[in-house]
Amino acid sequence: MNKKIIKFKLPEGGEKEFTFWYGTGFLGNAIEKLEMTIDEIINHLNKNPFKVLPILLHESYSYGFWREGKECDYRLVDMIDLIDENGISEASVTSWINGLTESLTKDTPKVKKGNDDKPKKK
């Protein structure tokens, strides 16, 4: 399973380790929740990260609780507060974004460049 543990500063003080999940389960839930394709999510994340990032963080975090049949201990507004406390460009947030990017591109077939598509002469 592809997951990442990231420390966030808490709004009330102190720090907490969060386990965020990546991969098909989390992505499937996020696609349904946002009612967007992967490409639309990525475009929207680039266009307005302040709207999409907290939703994706929450889906990624809560997916682990769902896997264990438990109720998530953080709400969407709590994720918004975490981002506000830590800053959107803080290492913990960018670490999560890097994990998401890696999960979307890992094992993606490379596009061959050159003239491999030209018909061969007989």
Q: Label residue 31 by pLDDT band (50, 70, 90).
A: very high
Residues 60, 3: Cα–Cα separation, whole Å? 9
Cα–Cα distance between 109 and 32 in angstroms, integer? 25
pLDDT in tens, 52-79: 999 999 999 999 999 999 999 999 999 9
Domain boundaries, the chain: 3-102
SS3 109: coil
pTM of the complete model: 0.77
